[in-house]
Amino acid sequence: MRLNVNPTRMELTSLKKRLKVATRGHKLLKDKQDELMKKFIDLVKKNNDLRIKVEQEFTESLNQFMMAKAVMGPEMLSEAIMIPPESISLDVSKKNIMSVNVPVMKFVREGNLSTPYGYAQTSGELDEAIKKLYDVLPSLLELAEAEKACQLMADEIQKTRRRVNALEYFMIPQLEETIKYITMKLDENERGSLTRLMKVKTMMKDAEGI
């Protein structure tokens, strides 16, 4: 479907410029989409590896807690871990990946890193469970970063794909069809003007012969 414009040379020049810009924009967006897909695939692989690692470490920690609960009893276990030894806050910043701002997170720890309970009435399984939870936090944070980055990258890929498709299947064909129509119209007008000019010359020659 062509654009509804006047078939003039000025309009033809303007449309050719627009086509050039649209073609260039399509190439840049296509390159961006391809690069986004590569980075997205890498992020998905990283996310899957991290998820397997975190789930495994959480499972091991949970098993240790269950063992500690069986040895110590639920009331003593709850009392032992009631008061946290430190406070943890989250520092969030951003980094740019192919025009996508993805989060960068890190823990800020405050307080005493030692266990909040005595060792006399607690079991070694509790110590091991808490240590495993403590050790899994960096991986858990990295997993959160990766999952959010995947989500943001997927949204950007979808937006870029829509723009690429709009240029490739709508705007560029529309401009090309309109340019072709105007070119044909101008050629037709030029042939008509030439034919009229030749007729005028013929009439002038005939008039001079009379």
Which pLDDT belongs to residue 208?
Answer: 67
For the chain, how big is the Rg over CA atoms in Å? Answer: 36
Q: What is the pLDDT of residue 161?
A: 94
| Ranges of the chain whose pLDDT falls below 70 | 77, 79-86, 110-123, 206-210
Residue 149 CB burial class (10 angstroms; 0-12, 13-18, ≥19):
buried
Neighbouring residues of 163: CB distance < 8 A, sequence distance ≥ 6: 29
pLDDT of residue 209: 62
Q: What single string gives the DSSP state of each residue in 110-176?
A: EE--S-SS-SSSS-HHHHHHHHHHHHHHHHHHHHHHHHHHHHHHHHHHHHHHHHHHHIIIIIHHHHH
Q: What is the pLDDT of residue 151?
A: 93
Q: What backbone torsions phi and psi does residue 113 show, to the nearest 5 degrees?
A: -85, -5
Distance CA 181, CA 92 (A): 55
Q: What is the pLDDT of residue 108?
A: 75
